[in-house]
Homo-oligomer: A and B are copies of this chain.
Amino acid sequence: MELAPARGTATIEEVAARAGVSRSTVSRVVNGSTAVSPAALEAVRRAIDDLQYVPNRAARSLASRQTRAIALIIPEQTDRFFGDPFFASIVAGIGEVVGESDYLMNMLIASDDASAKALGYLRGGSVDGAIVASHHTSDTFLERIADVVPVVYGGRPARVRAEDYYVDVDNVAGGRAATAHLIARGHRRIAAISGPPDMAAGIDRLQGFRDEMAAAGLAPAAVEDGDFTERGGALAMSRILGAGVRPDALFVASDLMARGAYAALRERGIEPGRDVAVMGFDDSSVATALIPALTTVRQPSRAQGRQMASVLLDVLAGRPAVHATILPTEVVARASA
């Protein structure tokens, strides 16, 4: 075919020659070994600089049996995933930490049929570890990947095994706090729009709602699944209203669904915040963009992403790592409730 055009990049051999040392010494410098004399270190540094040397990743991986890459697995429709600012924050957090390290982030969109391929890829040793950004209990293939490489889950996995790592927020407490806020403001006919029952966050937030209602001796005015999407939130709201229920307050398990609920409410001439108190969950960009601004439960999504990445990096480095991190939430009172 075609001769490889002189890759700008020099090899370790050339650096060694220029620095007047052996390959091994250059390798040691590059990998931060302490056992190098100041003189050699200086010489190598200069040579690297002069030659603009960047180690070849493939060669390094092959020899060290590490790829220095991690997979970000998105078991979801791409547009659905990225449509929620919550995930955007998670990814941002992960990206920050990974970006500071010398790891690479491979994005794997593992929708259904692609999952087999994704598994093969993970088994091929292309990455040292994986982060599963969000998942449903039905994603069985996700469990199998943990047999291949270390995995950190975003959100409590369906079945928690001792060797699993995950980073979650205290969704039950968040759900309780949100409900308590509503009750404290004098509301009694409180309905909930929940997340899907096959996701831990969906289950837990609803649990918190139910717990707090029960503790206050109240019965939910209605509970509808909004599937964590804007459209689902609108639909759920319509169902509640359509059934003739007229709540005086609403606990919506995600900001995005709350936006959908706002729309559905207004379609019936009900003004959110004035005619019905609305409480969201996430405190994503959606919350402040809404009018009236959404009272919501803040979860530290960016921090969650950061923590996921940190945990994985710890595991890969052989450092002790926390298996379960539960981040706190807090109610942020705005105009809607």
> Do A62 and B54 contact each other (CB < 8 Å), given the known contacts A72-B107, A85-B82, A92-B79?
no
Give the number of chain A interface residues (Cβ < 8 Å): 61
> Do A104 and B126 contact each other (CB < 8 Å), given the known contacts A99-B109, A260-B289, A289-B259?
yes
Contact B318 A291 (CB under 8 A): no
- Chain A binding site: helix, strand, loop or mixed by DSSP? helix
Contact B82 A125 (CB under 8 A): no
Distance A318 CA – B60 CA, assembled complex (angstroms): 27
Q: Copies of this chain, how many?
A: 2
Contact B125 A9 (CB under 8 A): yes
Query: Is A24 located at the chain interface by the 8 A CB criterion?
Result: no
Q: Mark A153-189, 1 if CB is under 8 A from B, else 0.
A: 0000000000000000000000000000000000000
Query: Is A106 located at the chain interface by the 8 A CB criterion?
Result: yes
The B-contacting residues of A in range 42-61, CB under 8 angstroms, are 52, 54-61
Query: Is A198 located at the chain interface by the 8 A CB criterion?
Result: no
Q: Mark A85-97, 1 if CB is under 8 A from B, else 0.
A: 1011101100110
Binds B, one of A33-41, A114-122, A211-219: A114-122
Contact A95 B109 (CB under 8 A): yes
Contact A106 B105 (CB under 8 A): yes
Contact B105 A54 (CB under 8 A): no
Query: Is A243 located at the chain interface by the 8 A CB criterion?
Result: no
Query: Is A13 located at the chain interface by the 8 A CB criterion?
Result: no
Output the least CB separation between A101 and chain B (Å): 11
Contacts of A120 in B (CB 8 A): 54
